[in-house]
């Protein structure tokens, strides 16, 4: 339902749906989403590193920017949807990912404000929704919150999706009320489930106030310790239940293409290796592949060779074929960043490729074809969007100002300061910035009691989403006045704070957009 609302407004959040067919009480069918893994499997397969999710997506050999876009959009959708519906029990086994980058949630037993509790008393789901550090890193294209430029766009997409859903609050509430007689575990007649969703939708406030409110929910979700604790506890609980980590490495879909789709290679061989940083130092092996109408060169990592060997070995055992050459026990456990190891591995790879070349059924296997065909290891630079401002010396600020009639003779001005772009470094690091707002008179002086400000954000591209209210009845001749929005660097001592840049807006008309910050 929510996805239909968003699509009707031109907002495509790449939601991935799956079918559920109930057949009897506690029985039914759930569609399997192919080529998907849980977030926990990604995390434990990569030693719980902060970059694990980003590196897993980058290892899929699809277009990196398309993968991140799919992830960012679907993450926006589920952040809004899970918040509105009050979904609980959100841990890293209830969040899944596809090899195309789509994120989706499963297991909705705890919903409409029925949260998972420890000992039946302590609420385990304390964050408004799940937005973990590794998710933020993907949204920022691998950059941190301090230096990344992409997170503000994610926040704005979330607030847009939230406001669109709010505009359809009656349809959402009606659907829940109609479903109440079904006597589901999390939804029963006479409960307060409808009230929970109504409060989360906040239909009584305007869009600007809702933007500010949801941004505060985003900040609370990012900084939530309970999300990290939930992930940690569930990961270790699964370790003891399964007797192993069952993690997944950042490997691509091993059988994506077939001979019928892309053709049959004539032959292939290893030519050498080269050192790269992805982001750590490692050696990649260069292969020459001869096709009927072209010659191609591909780069593959050692772990990708172990993956294809595992698939081919299983295939050979099932059909009673020849044994697959061993890649070498010593080389399997060695480090990827040593040239001596790369030399030893090159010899083992040569033997394996000779075997795959000689065996027709192995050469035509989908794993071999996919391994040789895909070559998107060096994606093109992203095309600059016209909606993203060019960088400037002082940076830029995005705002929205509108007027609201409170009575027949009273007006209120609402100023939403959204975010800044490309603020300059201060002493070699990202500024700890905050925004001040004043109303200035005709002489350019600040009018007393009009000062308001935001909290600080440590970033080159901070997101504020802060609303400033001014009752124009208190400001004589306001049509002649201007609003000054200034961005400041916080140094810890009030007297040492200094202005990075500012803009002046006429108070007589509504406006919105990007403005370049001017030097003080």
Q: In what order do the strands lie in the sheet with 511-516?
A: 463-471, 410-421, 396-407, 511-516
pLDDT at 322 over 50: yes
Taking residue 328's Cβ as centre, other Cβ atoms within 10 Å add up to 16
The predicted pLDDT at position 249 comes to 60
Structure tokens at 171: 């349809």
Q: Where in the chain is the domain with CATH 2.60.40.150?
A: 396-516
Mean predicted confidence (pLDDT) in 396-414: 80
Helix (H) / strand (E) containing 290: strand 281-291
The predicted pLDDT at position 391 comes to 44
The predicted pLDDT at position 390 comes to 43
The predicted pLDDT at position 211 comes to 93
Distance from C-alpha of 231 to C-alpha of 40, rounded to nearest angstrom: 8
pTM metric for this prediction: 0.70
Give Cα separations from 122 to 18, 379, 491 (angstroms). 32, 47, 39
Is the four-CA dihedral 455, 461, 467, 471 of positive or negative sign?
Answer: positive
- DSSP secondary structure, 453-477, as one string: E---EESSS-EEEEEEEEEGGGSTT
Average confidence score pLDDT of the chain: 83
Q: Percent of the chain, pLDDT > 90?
A: 32
**The CATH number of domain 2-242, selected from 3.20.20.140, 1.10.1070.11, 1.10.1040.10, 1.10.3470.10:** 1.10.1070.11
Structure tokens at 488: 């400041």
Mean predicted confidence (pLDDT) in 56-77: 86
Distance from C-alpha of 70 to C-alpha of 79, rounded to nearest angstrom: 14
Mean predicted confidence (pLDDT) in 470-489: 80
Taking residue 266's Cβ as centre, other Cβ atoms within 10 Å add up to 12
Residue 479's Cβ-count burial label (10 Å; 0-12, 13-18, 19+) is exposed
Q: Where in the chain is the domain with CATH 3.30.1520.10?
A: 259-373
Q: Where in the chain is the domain with CATH 1.10.1070.11?
A: 2-242
Phi, psi dihedral angles at 60 (to 5 degrees) = -85, -5
The predicted pLDDT at position 122 comes to 72
In contact, 455 and 465? CB cutoff 8 Å: no
In contact, 336 and 364? CB cutoff 8 Å: no
**Which residue has better confidence, 409 or 179?**
179
Band the pLDDT of 28: cuts 50, 70, 90. Answer: very high
pLDDT at 250 over 60: no
The architecture that CATH gives domain 259-373 is 2-Layer Sandwich (3.30)
**In terms of Cα–Cα distance, which of 156, 159, 173 is closest to 80?**
159
The architecture that CATH gives domain 396-516 is Sandwich (2.60)
Beta bridge partners of 463: 419
């Amino acid at each position: 339902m929510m996805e239909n609302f968003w699509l009707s407004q031109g907002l495509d959040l790449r939601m991935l749906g799956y079918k559920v067919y109930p057949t009897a009480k506690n029985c039914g069918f759930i569609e399997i989403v192919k080529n998907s893994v849980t977030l926990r499997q990604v995390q434990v397969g990569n030693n719980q590193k902060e970059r694990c999710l980003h590196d897993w997506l980058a290892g899929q050999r699809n277009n990196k920017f398309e993968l991140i876009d799919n992830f960012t959009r679907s993450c926006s959708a589920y952040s809004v949807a899970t918040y509105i519906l009050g979904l609980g029990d959100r841990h890293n086994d209830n969040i899944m990912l596809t090899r195309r980058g789509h994120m989706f949630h499963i297991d909705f037993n705890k919903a409409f404000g029925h949260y998972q509790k420890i000992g039946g008393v302590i609420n385990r789901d304390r964050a408004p929704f799940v937005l973990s550090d590794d998710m933020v890193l993907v949204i920022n294209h691998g950059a941190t919150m301090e230096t990344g430029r992409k997170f503000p766009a994610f926040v704005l997409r979330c607030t847009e999706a939230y406001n669109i859903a709010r505009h359809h609050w009656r349809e959402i509430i009606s659907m829940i009320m109609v479903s109440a007689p079904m006597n589901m575990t999390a939804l029963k007649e006479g409960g307060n489930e409808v009230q929970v969703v109504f409060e989360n939708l906040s239909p009584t406030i305007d869009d600007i106030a809702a933007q500010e409110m949801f941004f505060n929910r985003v900040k609370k979700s990012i900084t939530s310790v309970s999300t990290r604790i939930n992930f940690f506890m569930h990961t270790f609980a699964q370790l003891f239940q399964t007797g192993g980590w069952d993690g997944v490495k950042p490997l691509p879909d091993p059988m994506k293409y077939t001979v019928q789709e892309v053709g049959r290679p004539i032959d292939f061989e290893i030519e050498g290796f080269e050192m790269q940083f992805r982001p750590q130092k490692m050696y990649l092996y260069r292969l020459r592949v001869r096709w009927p109408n072209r010659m191609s060169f591909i780069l593959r990592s050692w772990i990708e060779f172990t993956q294809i060997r595992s698939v081919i070995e299983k295939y050979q055992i099932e059909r009673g074929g020849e044994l697959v050459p061993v890649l070498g026990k010593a080389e399997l456990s060695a480090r990827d960043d040593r040239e001596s190891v790369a030399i030893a591995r090159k010899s083992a790879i040569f033997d394996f490729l000779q075997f795959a070349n000689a065996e027709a059924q192995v050469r035509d296997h989908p794993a071999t074809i996919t391994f040789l065909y895909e070559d998107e290891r060096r994606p093109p630079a992203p095309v600059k969007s016209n909606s993203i401002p060019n960088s400037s010396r002082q940076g830029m600020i995005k705002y929205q100002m509108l007027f609201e009639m409170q009575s027949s003779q009273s007006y209120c001005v609402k100023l939403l300061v959204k975010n800044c772009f490309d603020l300059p470094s201060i002493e070699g690091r990202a500024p700890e910035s905050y925004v001040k707002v004043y109303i200035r008179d005709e002489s350019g002086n600040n009018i007393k009691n009009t000062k308001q400000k935001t909290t600080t954000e440590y970033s080159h591209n901070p997101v504020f989403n802060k609303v400033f209210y001014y009752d124009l009845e208190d400001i004589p001749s306001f049509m002649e006045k201007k609003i000054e929005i200034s961005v400041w660097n916080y140094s810890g001592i009030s007297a040492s704070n200094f202005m990075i840049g500012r803009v002046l807006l006429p108070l007589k008309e509504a406006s919105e957009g990007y403005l370049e910050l001017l030097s003080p």
